[in-house]
Structure 1
């Protein structure tokens, strides 16, 4: 996606958010589906990077959408809606960890030993890379995992991450730096593990 396309999409998305916020606040409850459809996947991704378990991430997302709906009238538009909403998701996810005192899950990578044609093999390799990255994100601390996910996968700016997470800009940079370094180490270990079992 070119920078111009990205800017157009961002402006379009921002203006659509404003339209639907006005609709919901004026009593059109059905219009809230727009926010669920637009932000559900990203919210799940952010929640999962913090709580590390899919069923808990689903609960976090559901709670975040409820909280967002209840608090929509307090959204002042000082930041993008997505930034405001992801801050709700992050807050609920970290509260979930605190209250449930969750432990991280270790899981094994699956190996593929069958012979496939080249296109299927490429697809498997891409899926394994994606799976390995998700495995690595699951191993990192919740702060590091969500920082990487927001910055690289969701293309949030440093300032947006700072606002979503409630960190200082300096702290955001330090956490991202540490997260990159730890991600590199974890991926290196996972690659060695997959080569050993492969």
Structure 2
């Protein structure tokens, strides 16, 4: 059943307590769980044994974040689109965490030096046109990382930003001090921004997934 609420309706009902809020949360949960199979199909099949658990965990975490960050919704998009992006980012973050476990740094790079899993930086929108735009953008980022960074910078970028590996873990595997790794990442980020600017790319859009640095 379609849910017809305006942005203001969503905010009003979620701010309230009682039945209005419960109904809005139930509707949002349905929207989230229906939207995730398409959004995540590139990385995890709905038939995968882990899929249902991931969707349920993501839906619950998304509802918690939406309630605690309602005041950050600026109304420049549909409320449900904003919620969808939060849900996909949460799910992809969890997938990234699972990918690096028991994986060597060498395994995170393809034989030709391309970055395995760079598409995990994308947070696709509800429609295929959003996914296409993200793919084209990430192709350019992939080339910049491969061509403009040193091997150490590339390894750190791939491990931390693409696969979500903790900084301490990467420092141990690269046999570097934590502060030295931060300096390496800082220099790599500056170089990435410079090269993206030269190619007319907006660093704020491309680096939206890098905010944890």
Both proteins in one fold, TM over 0.5: no
TM-score, scaled relative to structure 2 = 0.40
Name the structure with the higher helix share.
1
TM-score, scaled relative to structure 1 = 0.42
